[in-house]
Amino acid sequence: MSFPSDIFSRMFTDKNTQLLYPKEDVLAHDTEDIVQTNIFNVMLNRRSQRKFENKHVEEWKLEMVFAAADTAPTAGGFQGFEIYHIKNEEIKTKLVEAANNQPYVHAPIVLVFCMNPKRIKLNFPPDTIRKFSQQDATLAAAYSQLAAHALGLSSIWISSKDASAKAKEESQGPHS
């Protein structure tokens, strides 16, 4: 099977090369199905979910979601965003409050995409850099949602500046 010359080609190379994503071994037929997923089928069938089963999500799937975020277009390629993976139930409760009491923040996996304009090293006015950073975070989140759907996971978009600020304040650090 041949792959395009992008991150996915580096993800699934021959057995003598270390994989970037996923970090755990995945059966060949699983990766074949994932990589060959028709993007239009994914986009046409993805819907927001507000009820989540409380079940374990495999680490390799989460790594694939992060890989998708890394492939999203960004201003100057600087990735002016951070991703916080929230596991702590107390922090999730605070995020529910910060996100206008939307209870679905208690999903098994909670990722918070925050802008970080300091990562963008372009010579533009600060307001423009902030816009770039917001766009970077938005695109990374959207790519992540599409990847999650392709992996059989459900997702919902919750937009809240308060929740993003709370995640930064409470979390031990970004995953980006």
Structural domain boundaries in the chain: 7-170
40-71 residue pLDDT tens? 777 777 777 767 778 888 898 999 999 999 99
Query: Quick check: helix, strand or coil at residue 67?
Result: helix
> What is the per-residue burial (b if ≥16 Cβ within 10 Å, else e) of 93-102?
ebbbebbeeb
Q: Residue 134: pLDDT above 90? A: yes
**pTM, whole model, 2 decimals?**
0.71
Alpha-carbon gap, residue 7 to 65, rounded angstroms: 12
Q: Which of 80, 57, 77, 87 is nearest to 172 (CA)?
A: 87
Q: What is the per-residue pLDDT for 174?
A: 54
Sign of the Cα torsion 22, 28, 29, 35 reads positive
Superfamily of domain 7-170: NADH Oxidase (3.40.109.10)
